[in-house]
Chain A
Amino acid sequence: MSVEAVTGAAQESPAVPAGTAPAAPARGTGRRAALWALPPLIVVADFFCYPLALVVAQSFIAETGGPTLAVWADVVTSPEFGAGVARTVLIAVGAAAGCALIGTFLALVVSFAPFPGVRLVSGLVAVLPAVPGFLIVLSFTFLYGSAGALNALLGGSLDFLYTPWGVLLAEITLFTPFVMRPLVAAFGQIPRARLDVAASLGARPWRVLWQVVLPEVRPALAAATCLVLLMAANEFGIVLFIGAKDVVTLPVLVYTWGIVTFDYPAACVVAVVNVVLSLLLYGVYRWVLSGRGKRRARVDED
């Protein structure tokens, strides 16, 4: 799964701008609350933080048991690792850009040019995050594979599925709802009168779109794009199922070295790099969600 299907949870947050939440009843200090929250926190510490710390430690331990940087030196200079980092970053950036573009378009049509059947569309989009990533790859094999429907239709030999483009297309398919849903919500909050005023003052539709509509949803779009970036960097199922030899991302490298070749220390090094990359992206996501969202809310109040 990974963050494969961050659904409602992550999307509900932009709808609740920080700082505008109703003041909760004062229920004791933060310390007492933290005391009550200890049981779940202990579970997270035991089964998440402690293993993660061991992964970091393991990456610095030699086979003889002493501390070493040799594993890091080996891994970082290996061609698989370099290619893995480049692939992971490129695919994530491509998927985020593609999802932002397509998701914005789909959300715009749903919000501003609704047609009969739009409810069915929203229903499908709501269910989609429950779909595992490998489903997309399986269906792509029938659609775009060398013996697939598209090749039968064109009579040619279109063969992009087992390249980075195949991974990219599959991830765009999987993650577009994560951009589309928050944007539909954000578009819905723009007062229609504002658009009508802009139009009646003589602004062409494109100008209304660029200068009135899009600036309004920029925080939501930025947050959703960051989320896709994070999910795409962590995506495992799609890359594993496509299984092309030269399309290996960091999570797949962790799996290959950890489980297939049983080289735990090397797998741990890749895992540490992957976690640092993910946490960086996650930090940006949280920052966009809170900081910029807050600024936006303040501007609106003025």
Chain B
Amino acid sequence: MLVWTRTSRSVLVVLFVVVFGVIVVAPLAVIGLAAVAASWRGVLPGGLTGAHLAAATGGDALASALVSVQTALIASAGSVLLGGWAAFALHGSRGRIRRLADGLLHLPMAVPSVVVGLGLLVAFSHPPLLLNGTRWIVLIAHLVLVLPFSYSTVSAALERADPDIALVAACLGASPARVLLTVRLPLALPALAASAGLALALSMGELGATIMLYPPDWRTLPVGIFAQSDRGALFAASASTVVLLGLTLVGLLALNSVRTRAAER
């Protein structure tokens, strides 16, 4: 191994704890603390209160949270459907057309979300397809932004999968449709669940495109948090962020249980 002596190992671990603590643990812990802090002028918050969290789960904040959840569910479902579809359709093919399609499907990953938002504004602000000012434009933006990740997750899993199982099924006389429905899709279920989770988490936290596009009646939680932070309501913003994280976590855990159950079979 690389580290031989007890001292050097302890030094390394202490250094690790400090760096990891400052970089990863502190920001998460502080958001949690700020969400329940009555005030914060010293090193530690002065007194705890549940008022911010209560406010973040009612009224306007609750409406924003519901909008975010709906947006994320729709975007995630759409992207798993379309991304999974593309991954299955392109799986096993080679050559220039495949590379082109692959590149096209990955492309939105490389473009800043703000630019995706600006593009949708420029393209759909006038007839024939007037989407600006409706919630559809937000849903489309989220779908476009998370689709590459869903596609990429499912596609990578298909590349790794054992091709023999589907081949055996086909040799035993199963039609391509039957192989797809009874063999390849069930085998890919863990990857589909993983891609749904990824899309859900990305959509819940999306800010760049949404802030360019959102109509007044479809304001997502991150946009609401920006409004709070912008007017200096930092405790309220922290509480809303904790709600956002909690909702994301619930979704991820639910999808994770689907994944483990599918993997066990």
List the interface of chain A (C-beta within 8 A of B).
1-10, 12-13, 16, 21-34, 36-37, 39-41, 43-45, 47-52, 54-55, 58, 102, 105-106, 108-110, 112-113, 115, 121, 124-125, 127-143, 147, 149, 152-153, 172-173, 176-177, 192, 195-196, 199, 205, 208-209, 213, 230, 233-234, 236-237, 240-241, 243, 250-252, 254-255, 258-259, 264, 267-268, 271, 274-275, 278-279, 281-282
Q: Please pick, from A12, A241, A274, the residue contacting B226 in the complex, using a CB distance under 8 A.
A: A241
| Known pairs A51-B122, A113-B13 / 8 extra A-B pairs, C-beta < 8 Å | A1-B209, A3-B110, A37-B85, A40-B89, A44-B144, A143-B27, A233-B112, A234-B110
CB closest residue in chain B, given A117: B17
Given the known inter-chain contacts A25-B166, A254-B118, A282-B110, please indicate yes or no for A109 contacting B12, CB distance below 8 A: yes
CB–CB B118/A40 < 8 A: no
Any chain A CB within 8 A of the CB of B177? no
Q: Is the CB of A27 within 8 A of B91?
A: yes
The main secondary structure of chain A at its interface with chain B is helix
Given A34-B97, A52-B119, the answer on whether A234 and B13 have CB atoms closer than 8 Å is no
Interface residue from A13, A21, A30 paired with B152 (Cβ < 8 Å): A13
For B8, list chain A residues within 8 Å (CB): 205
| B156 CB, nearest partner CB in chain A, Å | 4
Q: Is the CB of B226 within 8 A of A134?
A: yes
Q: What are the residues of chain B within 8 A of A255 when measuring CB–CB? A: 114, 208, 211-212
Cβ of A138 and Cβ of B238 under 8 Å apart?
A: yes
| B41 close to A (CB within 8 Å) | yes
Residues on the B chain within 8 Å of A230, using CB: 110
In the bound complex, how far is the Cα of B121 from the Cα of A271, in angstroms? 13
**Which of these, A40, A134, A258, contacts B83 with CB under 8 Å?**
A40
Interface range for B: 35 or more
Q: Is the CB of B156 within 8 A of A132?
A: no
B213 CB, min distance to chain A CBs, angstroms: 9
B contact residues around A34 at 8 Å (CB): 89-90, 93, 97-98, 101
The 6 sampled A-B contact pairs (Cβ below 8 Å) are: A12-B157, A25-B92, A33-B89, A105-B15, A176-B24, A243-B230
Instruction: Return the contact of A139 from the options B28, B108, B143, B156 (Cβ within 8 A).
Output: B28
Please indicate the chain A residues that have their CB under 8 angstroms from the CB of B170 in the complex. Answer: 25
Question: How far is the CB of B98 from the nearest CB of chain A, in Å?
Answer: 5
Instruction: Give B contacts to A, CB under 8 Å.
Output: 1-4, 8-9, 12-13, 15-16, 19-20, 23-28, 30-31, 33-34, 40-44, 82-83, 85-86, 88-98, 101, 104-105, 107-116, 118-124, 140, 143-153, 156-160, 162-163, 166-167, 170, 194-195, 198, 201-209, 211-212, 222, 225-226, 229-230, 234, 237-238, 241, 244-245, 248-249, 252
Q: Which residues of A contact B94 (CB under 8 A)?
A: 30
Indicate if the CB atoms of A41 and B101 lie closer than 8 Å.
Answer: yes
Q: Do residues B3 and A113 form an inter-chain contact, with CB atoms below 8 A?
A: yes
Which are the 8 A-B pairs with shortest beta-carbon distances?
Answer: A51-B119, A132-B205, A282-B110, A24-B92, A33-B93, A36-B89, A130-B201, A1-B206
Min Cβ gap A136→B in Å is 5
Contact B208 A131 (CB under 8 A): no
Q: Are B207 and A173 in contact (CB under 8 A)?
A: no
Whether the Cβ atoms of A271 and B96 lie closer than 8 Å is no
Residues of A near B33 (CB, < 8 A) are 142
In Å, the complex CA distance between A147 and B245 comes to 25
Pair A275/B95 contact, Cβ less than 8 Å = no
Q: A16-B156, A33-B97, A36-B89 are in contact. Are A9 and B201 (CB under 8 A)?
A: no
CA distance A33 to B99 in the complex (A): 12
Choose among B16, B40, B122 the residue that contacts A106 (Cβ–Cβ < 8 A): B16
